[in-house]
Chains A and B, each alone.
Chain A
């Protein structure tokens, strides 16, 4: 990893965490409502995977604020979406769980567990058909690997040798149900092994995530076909803001937080990538300022007009077709 990329990753991880804490704060005040799934603790995976997979297309889940930002969406438009404002990335009609930006080849923001996986497979089919092997990355949690959509997708992706990276974020919990109670083994890559190349990594280490995803993307681009990466992570908060996180002991949370990706990568920044303390602090300051600006922007942005209710139900009105 180059120094420039390391700096970018640290900046985005730090920004991501600050963004999530601000979102939490504004959820408490009522500025943000609905379901809010915070990504605190999992910034390494969200940022490094997006930075490594810079080409191609991305499909992901509802815990996607940081991924969207790392993919290139401006924090202020993401925050505005959380606030339900017209200038939000989805015009205030999607909310926290549905961030879309085709200009960055980022397609949600899907809130049906596993539902985005067949969409990603279809997109990978389209890309291969178009002669484009840059690849599609689909991110999902360990919970999704127990559903039918996941298994159907492995089968189809392998049958057609599609350019797709399955990236499983295994944080061990499907809301409050531990993976041990929902699957016969803890390592979910075993489910993909008969179909494709698999790899298990520490998802809390940005450098490890970056190199694994980069390598996978480069193999896919060379025509390798589908690859499965399982990244072991730990979320520091509950599943969403309505989850009090009572199913994890303080011991478990202590162990979890000891794997905090931010201090780990900060140490790498200072000792492996030759950043000075001042340089790191400058990045942190810049990130905090960006998040503050995002909140200001979102707070002052306009609500969608009432007419927006009826917009975009259909793309084209009747009689607007050339046949």
Chain B
């Protein structure tokens, strides 16, 4: 199954069970979804439940908030992360706050999904990542999904929860292949140990996790060590428990993210580790992140703006040598 098919299946299964679940977004219906996540659903559930909206992101999220108030469970799709900026007022001022400022009287069972990140030469206005801003908003659950199995389970949970959830996908993951384990009982909103190890904890999420996984063999060989790789899955709340358990075991932390380094999400993980686990660490944490530049169009420049398998491998090895590995 492909990642996009896993998302589609999660939507389909739940829509079949609950007619309060509706989808809204640009080209989600007749067109079949820009990344084919909602393919076939309008034919099955009709235009009242799979709603093609005008290009008006503020209204896509703003209407979803109102639908949730009115008793529906909307799943809003924003075509790409950069467009979500037009809906930030609704996401941050409305979606995240109504439950708290009504003292729990209003609940918003809703999901806002969008893909983000560097794909292939889409340039500065179609390549960015916003988990750093959104995960810093109290009241919003933020989930980033990196594989087929997790995508299926996490989207189902996001839809079933009575909380507002921002569900982050990645443009390069839609055609990723994998299997769904229908008997998976792990909480998809908790961090997952993707690979066990004992010397270095490498924390990542979303698409760049694949690059981390691909670089591990070379790192382990060169440093003669073993790496534990953790997929964060939930960026708010953060599953510190799973992280702490791993870091206490390995005594070393590497944080890898695709986004611009300054103010990036990983800075929260590293500052938390510095505050809480300082005496458990045998080396200063290493952060590998994108450059502080808008994403350029040229392929060579584009690739130089984000971490890659090569740069991750090189940086971790250099850091390892410097720190006694």
Q: Is the CB of B98 within 8 A of A108?
A: yes
Pick from A10-18, A110-118, A216-224 the stretch touching chain B.
Answer: A110-118
Interface stretch (choices A24-32, A94-102, A171-179): A94-102
Tell me the bound Cα distance from A153 to B101 in angstroms: 24
Contact segment of A36-44, A266-274, A310-318? A310-318
Q: Contact check: which of B51, B59, B157 meets A323 at CB < 8 Å? A: B157
Name the B residues within 8 Å of A315 (CB-CB): 99, 104, 107, 161-163
A295-313: CB near B (< 8 Å → 1, else 0) gives: 0000000000000000111
Interface pair A115/B103, CB less than 8 Å apart:
no
Please, how many angstroms separate the alpha-carbon atoms of A315 and B101 in the complex?
12
B82: CB under 8 A from chain A?
no
Q: Mark B42-84, 1 if CB is under 8 A from A, else 0.
A: 0000001001011010110111111111111010000000000
B201 within 8 A of A: no
**Across the two chains, which residue of chain B brings its CB closest to A103?**
B105
- Supply 4 further A-B pairs (C-beta < 8 A) apart from A119-B94, A318-B189: A90-B101, A110-B94, A122-B62, A314-B141
**Total A-B pairs in contact (CB under 8 Å)?**
152
Residue A319 lies at the interface, judged by CB distance under 8 Å to chain B: yes
Classify the interface of chain A: helix, strand, loop or mixed. Answer: mixed
* Interface range for A: 35 or more
Assembled-state Cα–Cα distance A89/B188 (Å):
35
Asked if A232 lies at the interface with its beta carbon under 8 angstroms from chain B, I say: no
Residues of B within 8 A of A (CB): 22, 48, 51, 53-54, 56, 58-59, 61-72, 74, 89-90, 93-94, 98-107, 138-139, 141, 156-157, 160-163, 187, 189-190, 237
Asked whether A118 lies within 8 Å of B59 as measured between CB atoms, the reply is yes
A123-B69 in contact given A93-B103, A318-B190 (Cβ < 8 Å): yes
Give a binary string over A232-267; 1 marks a CB under 8 Å from any B CB, 0 the rest. 000000000000000000000000000000000000
Least distance between B96 CB and chain A CB atoms (Å) = 9
Q: Is the CB of B187 within 8 A of A119?
A: no
Min distance, Cβ B211 to any Cβ of chain A, angstroms: 28
Residue from B71, B104, B139, B157 in contact with A126 in the complex, judged by beta carbons closer than 8 Å: B71
A314 touches B163 (CB 8 A): yes
A130 touches B70 (CB 8 A): yes
Q: How far is the CA of A286 from the CA of B90 in the complex (A)?
A: 41
Alpha-carbon gap, A134 to B162, bound state (A):
26
- Determine if A322 is an interface residue (Cβ-Cβ < 8 Å): yes
Do the beta carbons of B56 and A125 come within 8 Å of each other? Answer: no
Contact A312 B103 (CB under 8 A): yes
Chain A nearest CB from B100 CB (Å) reads 5
- Cβ-defined partner of A148 (8 Å) among B58, B64, B107: B58
Chain B residues closer than 8 Å to A51, beta-carbon distance: none
* The 4 nearest A-B residue pairs measured at CB: A122-B66, A118-B62, A126-B70, A91-B103
Does A83 lie at the interface of the complex (its beta carbon under 8 Å from any beta carbon of B)?
no
When distances are taken between beta carbons in the complex, the residues of chain A under 8 Å from B138 are 313
* Cα A125 to Cα B139 with chains together (Å): 25
**A211 at interface by CB-CB < 8 Å:** no
A114–B163 CA distance with the chains assembled, in angstroms: 24
**Distance in angstroms between the alpha carbons of A119 and B97 in the assembled complex:** 13
Least Cβ–Cβ distance between B85 and chain A, in angstroms:
13
- Residues in B neighbouring A90, C-beta threshold 8 A: 101-103, 105
Closest to B106 in A: A100
Residue of B whose beta carbon sits closest to that of A100: B102
Give, as a whole number of angstroms, the nearest-CB distance from A285 to chain B: 33
B280 CB to closest chain A CB, in angstroms? 25
User: Cβ of A125 and Cβ of B67 under 8 Å apart?
Assistant: yes
Query: Which residues of chain B have C-beta atoms less than 8 A from A57's C-beta?
Result: 69-70
Residues in B neighbouring A119, C-beta threshold 8 A = 62-63, 65-66, 69, 94
Closest to A117 in B: B62
Kindly state the separation between the CA atoms of A129 and B67 in the bound complex, as whole angstroms.
10
Chain A nearest Cβ from B88, distance in angstroms: 11
Q: Does A120 contact B (CB under 8 A)?
A: yes
13 A-B contacts (beta carbon < 8 Å): A90-B105, A100-B103, A110-B94, A112-B94, A115-B90, A118-B66, A120-B66, A122-B74, A127-B70, A129-B72, A156-B63, A315-B161, A315-B163
Task: Report whether A318 and B187 are in contact in the complex, using a CB–CB cutoff of 8 Å.
Answer: yes
Whether the pair B62, A121 counts as a contact (CB closer than 8 A) is: yes
